[in-house]
Amino acid sequence: MLLGYNMIGLNHLLFWGMFGLCFEILFTATVDLFSKKKFNLMGHSSLWMFPIYSLGLTYGFDFVQNIISNDFIRYLSYPLWIWLVEILVGYPVSQIGIRIWDYRYLPNNIHWKGIVSYVHFPVWIVFGIIVELVDNLLS
């Protein structure tokens, strides 16, 4: 029985890690298509994002759903949780010269040190809703 539970947990980690990477690549390719007219649809991500998505989407979203039952408030809170992860992960690694993501291409008043992008607030809400919908389909 323990082995079966571990395989389910491992499958969730692998699924959500790949889901996050694929979603980010799709998102960045789509943004480049509409903003830069790049029809090659080449999105990008970092392999460092795999464990972040894997753990965050496997456990983080369940945690938030358990502590915030009101859908509207939970949706509005998703950007705050994501920004917390961006700060807790992005800031320390930026201090050693690693930029897993980099928002410095945005004007200074809409990002913090290239680590947190305020412009992505609605994107993170939509992302949270999509993760919940996919999680419900999997359950």
b/e per residue, 15-35, with b = 16+ CB within 10 A? bbbebbbebbbebeeeebeee
Specify the pLDDT at position 1: 44
Specify the pLDDT at position 9: 83
Specify the pLDDT at position 80: 97
The pLDDT tens digits for 62-111 are 999 999 999 999 999 999 999 999 999 999 999 999 999 999 999 888 99
The pTM assigned to this predicted structure is: 0.88
CA distance 110 to 75: 21
